[in-house]
């Protein structure tokens, strides 16, 4: 999981992730990773619209957001 997060950070990709909080609540979030350090990372969370700290061990899954360019015909 950490390797995927580092890759997204390196290429400045947005990430959709499933995250479980300390109280057991599961949420789906779209984030932009700002900093990775040790067992946590800081990211801008589009759900909460603010910078948040996340524990890598609490990330259940993550997937980079793929954007497609549209062609003008």
Whether the CB-CB separation of 20 and 58 falls below 8 Å is answered with yes
For range 11-24, the mean pLDDT = 95
Nearest residue to 33 via CA among 64, 68, 69: 64
Question: How confident is residue 66, by pLDDT bands cut at 50, 70 and 90?
Answer: confident
Condensed to tens digits (0 to 9), the pLDDT of residues 18-35 reads 999 999 999 999 999 999
The correct CATH number of 1-64 out of 3.30.70.890, 3.30.70.260, 2.30.30.100, 2.170.120.20 is 2.30.30.100
Give residue for tokens 């957001």.
65
pTM of the full structure: 0.84
% residues pLDDT > 70 (the chain): 92
Using the 8-state DSSP alphabet, how is residue 67 labeled?
Answer: -
What are the boundaries of each domain within the chain? 1-64
What lies within 8 Å, CB to CB, of 69 at 6+ separation is none
- Quote the pLDDT of residue 73: 60
């Amino acid at each position: 999981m950490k390797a995927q997060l580092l890759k997204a950070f390196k290429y400045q990709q947005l990430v959709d992730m499933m995250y479980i909080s300390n109280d057991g609540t599961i949420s789906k979030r779209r984030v932009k990773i700002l900093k990775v350090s040790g067992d946590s990372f800081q990211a801008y969370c589009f759900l909460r619209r603010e910078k948040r700290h996340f524990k890598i061990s609490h990330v259940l899954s993550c997937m980079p957001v793929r954007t497609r360019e549209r062609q003008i015909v």
